[in-house]
Structure 1
């Protein structure tokens, strides 16, 4: 049994498109950044903590015939060394979009898979370039509501696509889940190999 430890509709949609069958249990965790914690460590830690928390919650479902596998993920945007998560309000969304305007930033997604015998982690990094965006365009975008539940206050698969001339790396990572890496990690988790910890 596969459980996605995320309420993100984008991750749900991507896993469904990839042909996976799964259930959803969102992890309710403190997602505050630790002091001096690098962005890569932050998303990897949160992805593992989410997966582990949900696995612990459903541990009784784990059987030899149908092992319990929990997938966790966390995404953040980094510009000028600042980690941008989801905006707290419209003013925060405006601040983030102004920071991203006319620049290249990095999107990091940590993924983790927890089973009864393994904890596997991986990291995907994509560079995203924004065109210059005017204040009025930003204001119009915020009114749409789209930025308010997205890391970095934008959705590459939505209206903000008009401002993104190029990316370097996995598009799906920016949406919220690097599918190819995720499938590979799930395959490793379901293999008979001994417990390992994967980081990159």
Structure 2
């Protein structure tokens, strides 16, 4: 019990550094004229469920009660008996909170294990998707390589299709239906309409 009390005392002394002043760590201290400022420990205990803060508050109340008992100047045996009762209650309170804290740790371990399993499943799924994506991209590349692109296809000319040599023919722009070399092949159509000069 002495080691527990000394440990808590050291923790409380270290915790005082986070408080703004020495007065703010007095248990249940409120300004004389009223106001919202209470001690920093009880203030934080309302906004947080941290077991350390709750234990520190109980420890400070226990210390204040012990000081009051000493100042009452009652019989030493009675005072020691009362202090032992309070210490026993505080020990039970501490054990209960530690048990609850241990149960929370076990629950968090289970949740952590479930999250690890989920992460492993997602990781394996991610790897499978990467492999499938790589296979699809490889298949697309293979299909693209097997299908010869237009640049590599043979240019089949009229000469190869008709098996006749091509002639170098120049066409006149003035006479679109006329071949300069063979005018009899493309005869010029005579217009049946009379030409009038205006």
* Greater C-alpha Rg: 2
TM-score, with length taken from structure 1:
0.24
Q: Which has the higher contact order (CA 8 A, sep 6+)?
A: 1
Q: TM-score, normalised by structure 2?
A: 0.25
Which protein has the bigger helix share? 2
